[in-house]
Structures are given as C-alpha cells and as structure tokens.
Chain A
Amino acid sequence: QKEVEQNSGPLSVPEGAIASLNCTYSDRGSQSFFWYRQYSGKSPELIMFIYSNGDKEDGRFTAQLNKASQYVSLLIRDSQPSDSATYLCAVTATTDSWGKLQFGAGTQVVVTP
C-alpha cells in the first residue's frame, strides 16, 4: 500500500467550475499536509499547507483536512485554463526525521475552455 494515494486522473473540469482533488494517507501520526502544483516540465510549486482539521482558504484554493479519516482534499474554485497542471499531495512522515515529506504520484487536472 502506498503511503500517500491520489487518483492519477486526468480530471477534466470545465472553465469556471470547481475542481475537487482527493488524497489519502496511511501514517495516522502525520501532522502536516501540503499541496503542490506542477506544470509539465516544471518543478513543484507550493500552493497550500494545512496543519489542523477543517478548512483553510487561500484565494480560489481551499484545503480540507480530516485526520480521523486520514483524508485531505483540495478545491479549486472558478477553475481557469492556467490551473491545468498536476497537483501533488505531500504529507509529513512522523516515523522519520523531522521535515520528511511523502509525496503522492499526483492528480492531473485539465481545465477545458
């Protein structure tokens, strides 16, 4: 079982709609959760992080965390063609040294005009 799992996609989203991305993790002791955006041929770019249960909003992005269900999600409101990218979920691994991130394989999002 992979430690961080994401649907690979592609997730096709009409322009202006909400994109919903999901991530589950296996390490119950994980404390910090990150979403990175990666354009094709580029490096990952940090867009959101969340440490506490509940929702965290930043512009058009909302991260949702449910530690009991070991589930973190990312919502992208009013999706734009520029949001087309692969979104990587990353989780801290509490059994390892401080700061080690476990990444999922990513979900590809395609926003269609």
Chain B
Amino acid sequence: EAGVVQSPRYKIIEKKQPVAFWCNPISGHNTLYWYRQNLGQGPELLIRYENEEAVDDSQLPKDRFSAERLKGVDSTLKIQPAELGDSAVYLCASSPFSYEQYFGPGTRLTVT
C-alpha cells in the first residue's frame, strides 16, 4: 500500500514570498490532516479535513495560511506571505478512521 505522498520535500524561500505544499493521502483515507512541527517539538495540528470539509481549522493562522482539499482527495496548504517564524516541517497525515493517523515524509520549509 502506497503511503502519504508530499511535495516538495524541501523549500527555501525569502520572507514575504508565497509557498504551497501538496499532499496525496493513502487511498481510501477520508480524513486528512496538516501539521506543523518545529524543531524539538511534537507536531501541532493546523487543519483537519473529513472528505472535502474542513472540520477543525481552529489553529490555522487564517491571515496568511489557507488550505483546500478538492474532490476529497489531494490537498494543498498555502502560506502567503511567509514569515521567518514559519520555518518548520509541514506534515500531512491521513487516516481511515479518526484516530490512527499515518504521516507523509513532510516538507521542510526554510524562510530566509
């Protein structure tokens, strides 16, 4: 079974520039999560989707972050404009039901 796919794996941008991350979940997994992980910390949930619906986006900084999950499969997370503090690893996870989550390889973002 193929795992969660994310791209790009690494991204370096200057502050104030936009950036987008893409995620393809495990086939058949209706629930998709975006997390941010800072160095030395555990992942923190940004947004959770059930099919196309964002059911928990309470921790998404909506002034600069946006996300979408068209057709209930792939998802894109965008930051515009990026700030220095956005440097982190952005992880996508999916689950067949709500608790057992499987993570993709992540995108390491560096904002200079």
Contact = CB atoms under 8 A, between A and B. Distances in A.
A24 B42 CA distance: 14
B100 A98 contact: no
Contact of B95 (A92, A99, A104): A99
Interface string A85-113: 00010101000111111011110000000
A60 B13 CA distance: 43
A43 B103 contact: yes
B42 A88 contact: yes
B105 interface: yes
B45 A100 contact: yes
A17 interface: no
Given A42-B105, A44-B103, A96-B56, A101 B40 contact: no
B42 A46 contact: no
A97 B56 contact: yes
Interface string A49-90: 100000000000000000000000000000000000000101
A105 B40 CA distance: 6
Contacts of B31: 99
B7 interface: no
A34 interface: yes
A44 B99 contact: no
Nearest to A8: B40
B64 to A, nearest CB: 22
Nearest to A97: B56
A100 to B, nearest CB: 6
Contacts of A8: 40
B70 interface: no
A101 to B, nearest CB: 7
Interface string B76-112: 0000000000000101000100111111111000000
Interface string B44-69: 11001000000110100000000000
B43 interface: yes
A46 B102 contact: yes
A42 B100 CA distance: 18
